[in-house]
Amino acid sequence: MARVSQAHLDARRRQILDAAALCFARNGFHATSMQDVLKEADLSAGAVYRYFSGKEELIAAIVSEVLGEVRGAFEAAAEQGPPPPPDALVASVLERTLAARAGLVLDGVPAFPRLVVQVWSEIPRNENLAAVLGEGYGSVRAAWGRIAEAYQKDGRMRADVEPDRVARTMIACVLGFIAQQSLFGPAPVDVLRDGLRALMSMPGGGNGPDATRGAAPDAG
């Protein structure tokens, strides 16, 4: 029997994951059956079950892959000296994440934002998925915390705000932007980048440790 190459195995795994992602985005996790995934992937049950035992393993693999990519990008940025500014960094990572899944389309619209919202809706009912997402969120949050510390050390961000609060806020911006796309339709990443850039330009908005000057006086 001819030996199957690793490239072939990787391509088949990618085929299955993309098919599952489309099914989950289209119908949600519970309304999707493994038969739906087999049909979307145009593969036999044996070919699919060689890689994944069922829907739970498929959705966990999809979530782990996305969060791993995002975490890796932010961890690499944290090692730079200094990291790119927040607007450029967020836009760069989000663009790469979306571009890697540009082929996932439903009715002519990118499916990835819908998939993200479907995953969120499943978390309260799925402890395993919640654990996978929680671990991934924690690692991305830690990476962003290190980026914020680097900004502060470099004097580009005020030092009186905890780095973890910056991390949570930046993650919230990205998740909110993805949710908007799912609910209201596609929007270029430039929208998020330019919005962050405008907020960063406000006087007293965080352009160094003395940025508190110019803030409104205390009403008391």
Closest CA to 26 of 117, 98, 97: 117
In the block, tokens 């009715």 appear at 107
CA–CA dist 94, 18 (Å, integer): 19
Residue 215 has pLDDT above 60, yes or no: no
Both tokens assigned to 104: 């996932």
Residue pLDDT, tens place only, 67-105: 999 999 999 988 887 899 999 999 999 999 999 999 999
Residue 20 has pLDDT above 90, yes or no: yes
CA–CA dist 104, 110 (Å, integer): 6
| pLDDT band at 3; cut points 50, 70, 90 | confident
CA–CA dist 57, 210 (Å, integer): 50
Q: How confident is the model over 143-171, as a mean pLDDT?
A: 95
CB-CB contact of 37 with 16 (8 Å): yes
Residue 118 has pLDDT above 80, yes or no: yes
Q: How confident is the model over 32-36, as a mean pLDDT?
A: 96
User: The whole model's pTM is what?
Assistant: 0.83
CA of 171: how far to CAs of 94, 117, 126, 144, 175, in Å? 11, 15, 22, 8, 6
Number of H helices, E strands in the chain: 9, 2
Pairing of strands 109-110, 105-106: antiparallel
| Number of neighbours of residue 23 by Cβ within 10 angstroms | 27
**What is the pLDDT, as a whole number, of residue 195?**
97
**What is the pLDDT, as a whole number, of residue 209?**
45
In the block, tokens 């470099």 appear at 154
| pLDDT band at 65; cut points 50, 70, 90 | very high
Residue pLDDT, tens place only, 123-132: 999 999 999 9
**What is the pLDDT, as a whole number, of residue 182?**
94
Residue pLDDT, tens place only, 130-146: 999 999 999 999 999 99
CA–CA dist 137, 113 (Å, integer): 17
| Number of neighbours of residue 12 by Cβ within 10 angstroms | 17
More confident: 2 or 137? 137
